[in-house]
Amino acid sequence: MCGIVGYVGEKSALDILLEGLTNLEYRGYDSAGIAVNVKGKVELYKAEGKLQNLKNITNENREHISQSVIGIGHIRWATHGAPTTANAHPHSCNCGRVAIVHNGIIENYKELRVKLEKQGCVFRSQTDTETVAHLVASKYAETNDLTEAVRLATKEIEGAYALAVIHQDVKNTIVATRRNAPLLVGIGENEYYVASDVPAIIKYTKKAMYLDDNQIVTLTPSSMKLIDTDNNELSQKYEELPWEPVALSKMGYKHFMLKEIHEQPDVVRNVLAGKLRAIDENIILKEVKLDKDTLKNLNRIQIVACGTSLHAAMVGKYLIEDLCDIAVDVEPSSEYIYRKTVGDKNTLVIGVSQSGETADTITAIRQAKARGSHILIVTNRPDSTMAREADSLIPVSAGIEVSVAATKSYIAQVISFYLLAIHIAEIKESANKSELETIKRELILLPQKLEKVLSHKEEIQLCAKKFANSKDFIFIARGINFPTALEGALKLKEISYINATGYTAGELKHGPIAMLDESMPVLSILMKGKVYDKILSNSEEAKARNARMIALTDSDDSKLNELFEVVIRLPEINETLSPVLAIVPLQLLAYYIAEFLGKDVDQPRNLAKSVTVE
């Protein structure tokens, strides 16, 4: 959460900072701010709320601010202190010469604040970050060297941080550092950029250096120096950034979420490309380094993830247990890290994450790695912290996802689990060849079926209007579609703020059924297969309690129209593959309800795309 950007060079910094913040807005949108240096004086501009408020303020002073060829900027997802202007970054010190932006949490900020207040520092915010501004200022007063001041400050701060710092007395210089929060340096011609993430700078440069933990970089228009916290100079490793700027356009759609939902057929094609070449050929997963012996000796698989990625992981569990005969546990990363987990070198730990930067999942995989487990990462960001720390990798190739509500990355993760499960089953010879071929055949047909679902979206739009004023929603399913019910409910909650819960249909009668009456919509995910009849009976039970019934089904049984107020029909699909198809109408339902209610679809309140705090 929070995004930082910085520029030092020969161009005016203002538009570069604002453009960078625009492309980082998915990381938080509680407030925004920039610090520039105009005619030798550090100036701060800050505004609470959306970035547009900051843009309005800077527009009033555009000519003046545009003179600065250096600047740092910040977009905030509030942790410590309410989302007010006073708590917006950049933060400064008593004399106003230092400006600092921060992503992360300074855990010992209270102790530091007490100490600094005793030294005469006057705090103007409730944030943890302001302590770092005062600390750097006091270290600078001792050393007269900004890099050294930042280095000494990092010795005293605990927690997670990506920091960028400027000082009025140190002309055209940015010092930046990180620990457990992402930060990269973009390299241009007589100019450097710093950013939390690639989209902030991709328009300006494709050459970059990712900072590792405890590295400190000092940037001027013509130089870059990299040291560690013990002051050893380090060599610099550059990388080519993978994206095109065009990926950040809405391409005519009203929201990124709608665009991303519509990209899903192509996402499936991309994920399969080069990995599933023919039905009678084995799956190719080059970056998965698990040989026959390792797989034979595996005693279990643990999958750690959060939110939508956790739901993709749950589908993965069904597939791997079904096809590979290996016990799989799926657990939210935030729980996994605070208990004793059992595992060793014969345990495969899979981390699933769209961003590859989710703090809880990073901690979980580090803990598992430390006890000797092989770490496989399934991520949409092959340049992320998780990907870089992985033993094996499945890059899910969904393309950049801007909407905070994950859609196409979910489908890409789920498809990756089909490929992984088949891959393991082929190596272990744990599944029937014809069963694997059936799944492969269905995978190849999926994009067309997804296109068919998307071409009937008006039907879902009507359903959304009908139910948009419901206060609560229940989603029921069984088996491999239970995660679909959870994911459908999560989508609705996060963008429409309607209370929605996913239940296994069989659990309804053990408590939740008490909530049912004529005001409660129950959406049954009724895909043909092993549990179809069971879910149908559970739906009858709900109907008998007067719930408003909606079916999502690939059955053409006309009798369903008697039981259900609305029947959303899907193309027929093999039950094992059905989660991929069934989630799309639920994404659309959530989208259209939120849109109908006038919610901020792409940037729902209180959320951020990349959750980099524990």
Return the bridge partners of 44, or none: 35
- Decide: 551 and 522 in contact? Cβ < 8 Å: no
Task: List alpha helices for 36-161, DSSP H.
Answer: 51-60, 62-65, 109-118, 129-143, 146-156
Least CB distance to ligand M6R at residue 242 (A): 17
The SS3 call for residue 534 is: helix
Site membership for ligand M6R, residue 355 (CB under 6 A): yes
Least CB distance to ligand M6R at residue 273 (A): 22
User: Does 440 participate in catalysis according to the annotation?
Assistant: no
Cα gap 97→110, rounded to integer Å: 23
Site membership for ligand M6R, residue 524 (CB under 6 A): no
Write out the binding residues for ligand M6R, residues 488-517 only, by CB under 6 A. 494
**Residue 264 or 358 with smaller CB distance to ligand M6R:** 358
Supply the DSSP symbol for 204.
T
**Residue 215 or 308 with smaller CB distance to ligand M6R:** 308
**Residue 392 or 610 with smaller CB distance to ligand M6R:** 610
Burial class (CB in 10 A: 0-12, 13-18, 19+), 115: middle
Q: Taking CB positions, which residue lies at the least distance from ligand M6R?
A: 307
**Residue 42 or 378 with smaller CB distance to ligand M6R:** 378
Selected range binding ligand M6R among 170-178, 401-409, 473-481, 542-550, rule: CB under 6 A: 401-409
Cα gap 607→335, rounded to integer Å: 20
Choice from 127, 173, 361, 612 touching ligand M6R (CB under 6 A): 361
Tokens of 367: 């803990």
Least CB distance to ligand M6R at residue 597 (A): 18
Write out the binding residues for ligand M6R, residues 171-210 only, by CB under 6 A. none
Write out the binding residues for ligand M6R, residues 584-613 only, by CB under 6 A. 607, 610-611
The SS3 call for residue 33 is: strand
Choice from 135, 404, 412, 443 touching ligand M6R (CB under 6 A): 404
Residues recorded for the chain: 614
**Residue 355 or 504 with smaller CB distance to ligand M6R:** 355
Instruction: Count CA atoms within 13 Å of residue 407 on its CB side.
Output: 32
Least CB distance to ligand M6R at residue 188 (A): 28
Cα gap 109→362, rounded to integer Å: 23
Least CB distance to ligand M6R at residue 370 (A): 20
Site membership for ligand M6R, residue 354 (CB under 6 A): yes
Selected range binding ligand M6R among 75-83, 403-411, 436-444, 532-540, rule: CB under 6 A: 403-411
The SS3 call for residue 228 is: strand
Return the bridge partners of 4, or none: 74
Least CB distance to ligand M6R at residue 604 (A): 8
- Decide: 381 and 354 in contact? Cβ < 8 Å: yes
- Decide: 319 and 418 in contact? Cβ < 8 Å: yes
**Residue 353 or 504 with smaller CB distance to ligand M6R:** 353
Q: How many residues bind ligand M6R (CB under 6 A)?
A: 16
Choice from 358, 416, 538, 553 touching ligand M6R (CB under 6 A): 358
Strands (DSSP E) contained in 152-198 are: 159-167, 174-179, 184-188, 191-195
* DSSP-assigned letters across all residues of 337-393: TTSPPP--TTEEEEEEESSS--HHHHHHHHHHHHTT-EEEEEES-TTSHHHHH-SEE
Q: Say what the alpha-carbon torsion angle 508, 509, 514, 519 is, to the nearest 10 degrees.
A: 50
Write out the binding residues for ligand M6R, residues 412-431 only, by CB under 6 A. none
Q: Of these residues, 139, 275, 599, 609, which one is catalytic?
A: 609
Site membership for ligand M6R, residue 405 (CB under 6 A): yes
Q: Of these residues, 2, 121, 324, 463, which one is catalytic?
A: 2
Least CB distance to ligand M6R at residue 433 (A): 33
Least CB distance to ligand M6R at residue 251 (A): 20
Least CB distance to ligand M6R at residue 417 (A): 14
Instruction: Count CA atoms within 13 Å of residue 215 on its CB side.
Output: 20
Q: Which of 27, 16, 13 is nearest to 602 (CA)?
A: 27
User: Does 609 participate in catalysis according to the annotation?
Assistant: yes
Write out the binding residues for ligand M6R, residues 299-318 only, by CB under 6 A. 306-309
**Residue 347 or 361 with smaller CB distance to ligand M6R:** 361
Write out the binding residues for ligand M6R, residues 155-174 only, by CB under 6 A. none
**Residue 129 or 407 with smaller CB distance to ligand M6R:** 407
Cα gap 203→4, rounded to integer Å: 16
Distances (CA, A) of 249 to 28, 46, 47, 555, 590: 19, 26, 25, 37, 22
Q: Report, as residue numbers or ranges, the catalytic residues.
A: 2, 609
Contact residues for ligand M6R, defined by CB under 6 A = 306-309, 353-355, 358, 361, 404-406, 494, 607, 610-611
